[in-house]
Chain A
Amino acid sequence: MHWHEVSSVRTLQQIFAVTWLNFLNLSHRVASSSVAVVGVAAVVLVFAAVLSMAKGFERTMTLAGSEDTAIIIRSGSTSELASGLSNEQVLIVETAPGVLRDGDQAVVSAELYVLVDIRKKSNDSEANVPFRGVGPRAFDVRDSTGLTEGRMFEPGKNELVVGRAAQSEFEGLDLGTSIKFGRTAWTVVGVFEADGGVAESEVWTDIRVLQGAYRRGNSFQTVRVRLDDRDSLAGLEEALKNDPRLDVDVYSERQFYSSQAQGTSTFIRVLGYPITFLMAIGAVFGALNSMYSSVSARGKEIATLRALGFGPISVLVSTMIESTLLALIGGLLGGAIAFLAFNGFQVSTLSNASFSQVVFDFAVTADLLAQGIVTALIIGLIGGFLPALRAARLPVAQALREL
């Protein structure tokens, strides 16, 4: 064995011994150590909580977005609300290439999208709830969407089916109840789910009834078509773009919803990351403080170890290990609290893109937790480094004299 191998093995043994010693007398420094732990826990908690909103919002917006469905919208419209299509245009879309056919019928749903004011249960204020008029094939053009309670509305009647999330978020949407929008009364006859997707925030009725109630004549805003094949999108787009009678944009449903999600989730991120960064800086100061006091409390002990022949490296590394472990405990704690308190917590917000309410759950995902733990470890390493350096440089003779 070469001498440097011997020495590195010895250093490792020393590091282990000193770390173990630190651990054993940690109970004497509970107060200052717990400050570091709680500080880091708060950072990870806030980080995970704020960004889980962005995650949850994105998940809701993209979940229902299918690659097998195309949305046709008037060109230049950034939202369904701003779009407008005539009956003739809808008929042209129905006969376009790439549209799935069931017998001689195209699997499409021409829809109208308006907003109604309904009170939010959470803060008792009125909110823009999306109210959609749909065709009989509305469920066929959407993935994993279907009625779970009650029945479908009858064509021609003032009846509603409501999304599961809308029902739990907004007032007066229980099955069997009657609700008034303006002067028209509607009856809730069914509840549908969409696998947590954005459609669950909506209230649906027969397109013909909605056109009448809102004096929209025979006009529509969007057409959703089921593609006969995922790759047919480009062909459909080309055919529609080249038709002089149309002036439309064609997106896959997934593309459409993920672009709709961008504004709001960017906003949450722009808010979340700087807050986390600032808090992390605060936590670094907290960790530095605890580790400095840990080092000064162990001054005599460190000097004794050094006098016994333990190297400065082992003192340095063991101090850093201590602070990193404390930060890790804090990170795990904060992550766990965030998960238990916020995961699945339902809220709704006004989406910038659609100008309407989107109901979603906070999603404390595994990758958020991982990012939180990494942040915690970084705080621990930075917070431990300077105190560790001081511990390693402690003048042995002087420290011992103070005994």
Chain B
Amino acid sequence: MSSLAFYVHIPYCVRRCGYCDFNTYTPGELSIDLNFRDVSRSYIDLLLQEINFARQISTAEKVPTIFFGGGTPTLMEPVDLGRVVSAIGEKFDLLPNAEVTTEANPDTVTQEKLAALRTAGINRISFGMQSATPHVLDTLDRTHNPENVLKATQWAREAGFDEISVDLIYGTPGESISDWQRSIDTALSLPITHISAYALIVESGTKLGAQVKRGDIVMPDDDETADKYLLADEKFEAAGFRWYELSNWSKPGSESRHNLAYWNGDNWWGAGPGAHSHIDGRRFWNVKHPTAYAQKMANGGDPKHEEEFLTDSQKASEEIMLKIRLADGLAFDSLTPIQIDTLEGFKSQGHLILQSWSEKRAVLTRSGRLIADRIVREILL
């Protein structure tokens, strides 16, 4: 029996951050009550319907991971998130050691809430820390006080969360190398097992995108962002965090199994507005707006917007594109002789690890990771 990972999307935020282009909505945008209590119940009801629908579509039994993302999942009542976990457990075989993660805003969690989340069956928590520098958080339009992160992670530990992760963003306009150094050091001082660190991507259609386009904000030089990546990798490794994906580091055994499912090409179901799913070479995604989603659910329960069936060559492209980013790398079995030949060039320039190469795997070095997209283009185009 194949397995099926679940991604559960919570498309709500108290306010929208300036860099964010995720599918999320504020109370103002939806004209709803600020405390989300009523929304929580009715929205989760829709998700339960979609889980029922997934049960009809999927032949999988085992569910190894659940991931609540957003948006801000902690705007929902922990009890309601618990209803989702239970529903998946009822319809599928939720494995006893399943990884159940929620994203959380360090500003809005309380000790009580964290305890309630544990009770709801959630055993891994990922805090949006972003930076330890107030002026960087300000540029990112984040509201939290950097000190809240320490408190939140300590409370999470006290509440019984063994797996705690923080997200960091580097390369924000105005962020100096020492600002970034401070974020790294702060993160490493926390009781955590996992770190994701992303270079800021300016998306068109966001507030930040508009500011950059107008010239109000100047993006930092790519070379400086590269230096920040190298600095982070060095420090994380020194602190016992091992890179396992380009932007992810963990203590041994604390990798995000849910995210690995994406990168390994496993099957997963994305529930909620705009969520993407992948089942056996078929990718499909739901309608984006919560209202449209609610209507679809009311009209028979298939919220799908579009789908695509991957050709063999598309599957091969995706495999290369995703696995090259992993510490396990890309096995030569998945490559053509010409592609291996192209990679040989990158190897000789120091972008691939020699030891792995001799074991017939292409694994990126630090410098290689920084040009991973270019390497993929060279292999595939």
Are these two chains actual partners, yes or no? Answer: no
